[in-house]
Structure 1
Amino acid sequence: MQRTNFAEMACSIARTLDVIGEPWSPLVLRDIWVGMNRFDQIQADLGISRKVLTERLGHLVEHGVLEKQAYDNRPRYEYVLTEKGRELVDILMVMAGWGDRWLAGEAGPPVLYRHHACGEIGRVDLRCSHCGEPMHADDVEVLPGPGAATQSASAG
């Protein structure tokens, strides 16, 4: 069965899922974010097949989320997050916060985030870029944007 092409939908959520929507991509991004930049490190940490990891890394490089950098004469490559990739990690931090709240259990969250600016352990908090107030799903009205296909385009 052929996968739906979300990239063609007039929805930013669908387009984002086209880049990171299968289960391995967010985990690959997480590993690279925490410093596992080489193929063998990522493969060993995730237990992912070499074939699938090669496909995922290629997809993320193709979409400008990762960049390959040679580190050996063979050449061998390590992967680094681009600006686009670093912004996707922000989404992963929000996902982790949801998982910490609803799925972590009695043991608590598996990782904590120390904020460089203040040195304290914190969590991601969504805020309005205009007024700075908290911004959650119940606090917004979804309106068609300039890129909407029609006035009744789905949110996202």
Structure 2
Amino acid sequence: MTIRRPADDSVTRVVELLGDRWTILIIAEAFFGVRRFSDFARNIGISNRNLLTSRLRMLIDADILTRTDEGGGRVDYHLTAPGRELYPTILALMSWGDRHLADQDGPPLILEHRTCGHVMTPLLVCDHCHAELDPRDVDPRPGPGFHPPPATEPAS
């Protein structure tokens, strides 16, 4: 069954919220422990303070980051619970980049799983049967919030 994806589906909404280079990089840095404005600016290479301020504000308004005043003019940014749920997204982007964009030396960063001590590769699995997911094995179906796009008029 082929369904036409609604123009306002979840993918569209996420891309509208996070589809900017700086926004994704801010979130990735937060997962790697960055908390301070100056560290975000340095690590992602953004020199425009107003742009970084607007992206941080947008992430706070979207409940992805929270801002805490640590006293003495020190402000920290932390991921919220919804923000931490973006971890698989960041891992998927990193994993794809490691496979397709890394140079001959290999990936620039590896992830070690603290629990077992091994270098890990993210794996997306079905939450029911735990089989690895492949797009050829998944069928999109209308969900409870599906609203079919309006039919287009045939060209005259």
TM-score relative to the length of structure 1:
0.86
> Pick from 120, 127, 130: which aligns with 2:128?
130
1:91 is displaced (CA, Å) by 0.3
Which of these two proteins has the greater Rg computed from alpha carbons?
Answer: 2
Aligned to 2:19: 21
- Give the distance between the partners of 1:119 and 1:58, measured in 2 at CA: 36
Select which of 136, 140, 144 maps to 1:142. 140
Aligned residues: 144
In structure 2, the partner of 1:115 is 113
Please report how far the alpha carbon of residue 9 of structure 1 lies from its aligned counterpart in structure 2 after TM superposition.
4.5
| Map 1:1-156 → 2, pairs under 5 A | 9-48=7-46, 49-74=48-73, 76-150=74-148
Question: Once the two structures are superposed, what CA deviation does each residue of 1:115-145 show, in whole Å capped at 9, x if it has no partner?
Answer: 1222110110000001000012111001111
Q: Partner residue of 1:3?
A: none
The 3-state SS of whatever aligns with 1:104 is coil
Q: Following TM superposition, by how much is the alpha carbon of 1:39 offset from its aligned partner in structure 2, in angstroms?
A: 0.4
Larger RCO of the pair (alpha carbons < 8 Å, separation 6+): 2
Deviation at 1:100, TM superposition (A): 0.4
Whichever residue aligns with residue 77 of structure 1, its letter is: V
Unpaired stretches in structure 1, ≥5 consecutive residues: 1-7
CA offsets, 1:48-77, max 9 Å, x none? 110110010000000000011111144x32
* Residue ranges of structure 2 left out of the alignment (5+ in a row): 1-5, 151-156
Runs of 4+ residues deviating >2 angstroms: none
Q: Deviations over 1:27-64 (max 9, x none)?
A: 01111111110001111222211011001000000000
Q: Sequence identity of aligned pairs in percent?
A: 33
Contact 1:10 1:149 in 2 (8 A): no
